[in-house]
Structures are given as C-alpha cells and as structure tokens.
Chain A
C-alpha cells in the first residue's frame, strides 16, 4: 500500500523511469527503506492496469527499464484522496509476542516475569540501536531519516510500556492472592 502511493506521489511531481522512482522513494523515506527494483516494476504494472499511471512510450513492447510513466487524472484524484484521509488502522494483527504472553500466563508453569524481562531487554537494545543512529543524525539535513527513526522508536517504546503494564497487572493480582 505504502509503496503504491509513494510511487504515485513521485509520479505526480514528474514522469519517471522505474529506477529513478526507486532511488527517489528511498531518499524521501530517509535512505533506509530499501526498495527492490522488481517490486517497483510490479507495482507500476498494477498502477497501469488500474489506469492510475500510463506509459509515456508509444511502444508497449519496450522493456521495463526503458519505459517512463506519468500519472493519469484518475491517479491524481486517488492520490489526493489518500493524503486527505486518515490511515484507518487495520484490524489488530495476532502478533507473536501477544500470543506468547497470553499463552505463558495461561500455562501456569512458565515464569512470566522472566519472559517479560527477556523481551524488555531485547526491545531496549533495539531502541538503543535506533537511538545511536539518531544521535549521529543531523536534525536539518537528515529530517526524513529522523522522522522514520521516531516511528520505529515510539512503536518499540509502546511495546515496552505494554510489557511493563503486563508485569504490573500480573504482580497486582498475585499480591492480592497472597493476602
């Protein structure tokens, strides 16, 4: 989804070749979101099929690398609608960590607090890695990268807050039980 609209937004600025789109997309997203060129071509083909972009080249037999594309009127209105509307959160995924914690709580013979701490340590180490990159980045020149890092950092932080809350909830119940 994000790649589809990303390419549309770039084509809205100027017609481009697939490879130009790949490098421009990576630059806009902070230079750390590597796109596979094959993914760029399949996405463009779908956009073309849906009438949102069209080939500049008259020769439909020309290979992917030599074809340039431009956005169509339909593509422009779909892009505008995308920017104008909030992203609707998808139904929450059944993620592995949530399931692992729930099953550990139910199992009864697993030390949940040890499990939570192991996860907390792994998440903090991930945060430390992001933060080291952040510390080296230049607030003006690398703004796109910093915005991307903030997204990763705050999602990881949310996970840690959830781990803390699980821990506190389990402890408060076991304290009650001990009374």
Chain B
C-alpha cells in the first residue's frame, strides 16, 4: 500500500521552560491510500494540531511529518505552499466560500492561485462539482445554496485538480444528520477511489464511516478502533 501521510515521532510544543505547552506529544502514525482516518478526542486533546501538521499549516518542533513523500519540516516556505495547493485539500466547519463568486469560481480558486490558465481551472472546477453531485448548480452564488450544498462546494474546492489528501475539521458540524451523512459518503467515495482523508470530529456516528478511529487525549494518541472486516449485525426480536 502507498503511505500518503506519515508521522514519525512528530510533536508540537509551544513556548519553553516552565511555560512550555505541549499540544502534541511525540506521535507516530501512518495513513495509506484508500484509507479514511477519523481523529476523536475532547477539546484541547491535540486533534487540530495534528491536522495542521499534516496540512503543512504548521511544522513539528520534533520528529518528522511526511506528506505524499515530502518532509514537511524541512520544506522551504515556497515548496510547502505548493504542497498545500497541489496535494492537500481542507474542509472546515466554517466553509469560507467567497460570497461574491459562483460555486464554479470558488472551486477554481486553488488552481488559479497555482497559476493554471483560467479556462483549464474552470473546467477542472466543473469536474470537481460534478463529482459531488452539483454540476447543475455551478453558476449559483453561495447564498443561493443550502448548507449541505455549500459544504459540498467546499469539498469540491478541496479536491479540485486531483488532490489526494483531504483534511476535514468538523465538516458536518452545522449540518443535520442526513445532510451530514451525504458529506460522509463523499469522503468515503474519495477514499474508496484511492485518495486519503483525515477527519477530525466529535461526532461518533460520522467517525464510524472511517476505517480507523484514533483517540487523542491530552496531546497523546491513547487508543484506536478498527472496522471489523466482516461486520456482524444481528438484531433480536424483543
């Protein structure tokens, strides 16, 4: 299997001496292609720190974080920016869609920032919108879309141009359960198609879409749950 994300004793500490705070203690973890990983834990347990390290938004203070074969800690700022634009996509609870741009234009932004011709960027945006079932809404502005549709636009923006690694921080937080489920189906489909996604969530029902759920506590990975390969489902009549 191809390893897309690898943490090798990666830690993130802030400050020093007796004011030092450890957001993430040395942590080792690998995520393979086709794998959906969920990260759970109470607030302040290090979930978002872990996601920021994998996404190249932050660098480890010790250990290594290797994303798609590149060591995040030793990349120059310029190369880190390229990694963020071409390989990694983010989805947050706050979608950050630009209100003055259509769905297609929002989705095309990462490619335009990467210097791709506008025509090419928009064609890729249409393909990404199609993959999340929104091909017919490409010309709508965010305000004319439902919450679930906006979240799908954000997922299309994260995946546009064939980015393999999707990082999602509470992507279903503001959605009702059935709409949230449709977002999880998209994450699942991305991974079943050979990509990888890391999902940070408080919601156990959404974490359960993952192949593996790791539990963080006080900045340490304390446990993990794995989906059984042959799920047993028995109900008995009451």
A residues touching B (Cβ–Cβ < 8 Å)?
1-3, 32-36, 39, 117, 120-121, 123-125, 127-133, 135, 148, 152-154, 156-157, 160-161, 164, 167-168
Least CB distance, A135 to chain B, in whole angstroms: 6
Q: CB-CB < 8 A to A129: which residues of B?
A: 227-228, 231-233
* Chain B residues bordering chain A, tally (CB within 8 A): 29
Is A39's CB under 8 angstroms from B237's CB?
A: yes
A-B contact count (CB 8 A): 82
Q: Answer whether A123 and B204 are a contact pair too, CB < 8 Å, given A2-B237, A33-B235, A128-B225.
A: yes
Is B193 located at the chain interface by the 8 A CB criterion?
Answer: no
A131 contact set on B, CB distance < 8 A: 205, 208-209, 227
Question: Which residues of A sit under 8 angstroms from B207, Cβ to Cβ?
Answer: 124, 127
CB distance from B190 to the nearest CB of A (A): 13
* B-side contacts of A157, CB under 8 Å: 203-205
Q: Which residues of A contact B231 (CB under 8 A)?
A: 128-130, 132-133
Per CB-CB distance, the 5 closest pairs between chain A and chain B, nearest first, are A129-B231, A127-B208, A128-B227, A131-B208, A160-B204
Interface pair A127/B204, CB less than 8 Å apart: yes
Given contacts A117-B222, A121-B223, A128-B227, contact A33 B208 (CB under 8 A): no
Secondary structure class of chain A's binding surface, majority of residues: helix
* B contact residues vs A (CB 8 Å cutoff): 40, 42, 185, 188, 203-205, 207-210, 213, 215, 217, 222-228, 231-238
With contacts A34-B237, A129-B227, A129-B233 taken as known, whether A124 is within 8 angstroms of B188 at the C-beta atoms is no
Contacting residues, chain A, for B222 (C-beta < 8 A)? 117
Most chain B beta-carbon neighbours within 10 Å: one of A129, A132, A133: A132
CB pair B208 A124 closer than 8 Å: yes
B125 CB to nearest A CB, Å: 27
Q: Which residues of A contact B237 (CB under 8 A)?
A: 2-3, 33-36, 39
